[in-house]
Amino acid sequence: MKTVKNKLGPVLGVIGATALTISGCAGGVTAQGGGEESGSGFSFGAAQEEVDAAVADLEPVTITYQPTTSGPNSTSAHVDTSFADEIEERSNGKITVEIAWAQAIAGYDDIDDALADGRLDIGRTIPSYHPQQYPAFSAIDTMLANLESSPHVSEVAANAVGLELGWGSEKLMAEYEDKQLTPIIPVFAQAGNYMACSQPGTSAEDFEGRQIRVASAAISDQVTAMGATPVSMDYPEIYEGLQRGTIDCTVGKLASLAETGVLEVAPHLSYPSTVSYAKAPSAIVFGRNVSQLPLAYQQIIFDAQIAFFAASMQESVGNAIGIRSALEHDGEVQQFSEEVDTKIAGANKDLVAEIESSGVLGDDPLTTLTDAESKWTAAAKESGIADDGEFANLPEWYDSSINYRPFAEKVYQDLAEPHRPSQE
């Protein structure tokens, strides 16, 4: 599958010496020299007629977007199609988005290179899988584990908190720049992680010696503090690992665990109530090809994160699906004992101390986190987002008709818009 094809050649020819380049510390994109040669952009929130005028003389392009989703029938595929649809509609059909499902172009270890060398145009990647290459991203992942846990409000607020920490980190922006990548969403917390086990358990005794598959270094430390043994295992191997008893549990996102059938063999769900597991966030970034597109096209792509964010906030639906699946397979949903919560909180405290001493997120990252949490929790509640029940009975009370777009627009305007591609 070719990337940024069809009419891109003429487009790049028009751009010529005034090619669009990545703007370093801000993490945004600017048109160096700009002018009519690179095409004019438009203001955020402009009427569609103004956008149509901005792209009227531009050649059509096709770009390839690779999400983390397994396929178009996935429970979370609507998030990726919403992102693609927004780009196509806002561009008046001038941009066509081809979605490469199931890492069809590049695996997680190869996505950064594929974006940088032009094999892929936009990618959703998981930098927390590579903490040595992304220390600032890994630190933000660790900090997010200190957020309070609730079934709905916290899930939504955490994503805004992650974005605030991400856009606010010069070191994270430098990590992306070193990879020749530009973030659209620098840190996307996603839904929370939960423990799924083949046998029930909520106490420290229950978890002593259990083998638990983890997805990040921070979760590894949390699981170790519980008295269990963390195990690294590729995602496709989890089902068989649980089935054969190679592992006893896995920490993951409920929608994915339900979709891959993991909850059929590990239906016993448990979770912390005062803190949370590290979230193993993802990010949406683009590389060389998109950075060379006309300014208006870049703005359309960047602005489409609102549609992605709004659709993603429905992950509570995914949590409800996971809970329902677990119960259908004779499982249950329970909080950890106070002792286990305390052990996880202790691990989090040690991890925060390491981050503070490293300086990777500034002098006082915990205060930054808690201030952002208070701000975005209040904003979520003001948007009509509420916890109307317990996590265990989420399928009974969650309202899937909630409109998350107003909250997503507020998050964008407050955090992302300052980094929007612009013309100097």
Which of 28-32, 320-324, 387-391 is predicted least confidently? 28-32
* pLDDT tens digits along 319-371: 999 999 999 999 999 999 999 999 999 999 999 999 999 999 998 999 999 99
Q: How much is the CA Rg of the chain, to the nearest whole Å?
A: 21
Q: CB–CB of 270/197 below 8 Å? A: yes
pLDDT band at 39 (very low <50, low <70, confident <90, very high): low
The reported pLDDT for the residue numbered 424 is 61
Q: Which amino acid is at 397?
A: W
* pLDDT tens digits along 90-136: 999 999 999 999 999 999 899 999 999 999 999 999 998 899 999 99
Q: Which amino acid is at 244?
A: R
Q: CB–CB of 217/233 below 8 Å? A: no
* Arithmetic mean of pLDDT, 7-16: 35
Q: CB–CB of 338/118 below 8 Å? A: no
pLDDT band at 216 (very low <50, low <70, confident <90, very high): confident
Length of the chain: 424
**How far apart are alpha carbons 377 and 60 in whole angstroms?**
41
Name, in order, each residue with C-beta under 8 angstroms of 416's C-beta and a sequence gap of 6 or more. Answer: 163, 167, 185, 302, 305
pLDDT at residue 372 above 60? yes
Name, in order, each residue with C-beta under 8 angstroms of 136's C-beta and a sequence gap of 6 or more. Answer: 169, 171, 172, 174, 175, 360, 361
The reported pLDDT for the residue numbered 128 is 85
Q: How many helices (H) and strands (E) does the chain have?
A: 20, 15
Partnered with residue 30 across adjacent β-strands are 21, 422
pLDDT at residue 13 above 80? no
* pLDDT tens digits along 172-213: 999 999 999 999 999 999 889 999 999 999 999 999 999 999
The reported pLDDT for the residue numbered 40 is 85
Tell me the pairing of strands 20-23 and 28-31: antiparallel
Query: What is the three-class DSSP state of 160?
Result: helix
pLDDT at residue 413 above 70? yes
* Arithmetic mean of pLDDT, 62-77: 92
pLDDT at residue 21 above 60? no
Q: Which amino acid is at 423?
A: Q
Q: CB–CB of 269/326 below 8 Å? A: yes
Name, in order, each residue with C-beta under 8 angstroms of 107's C-beta and a sequence gap of 6 or more. Answer: none
Identify the CA nearest to 266 among candidates 348, 191, 329, 189. Answer: 329
**How far apart are alpha carbons 270 and 200 in whole angstroms?**
8
The reported pLDDT for the residue numbered 129 is 84
pLDDT at residue 28 above 70? no
Q: Which amino acid is at 419?
A: H
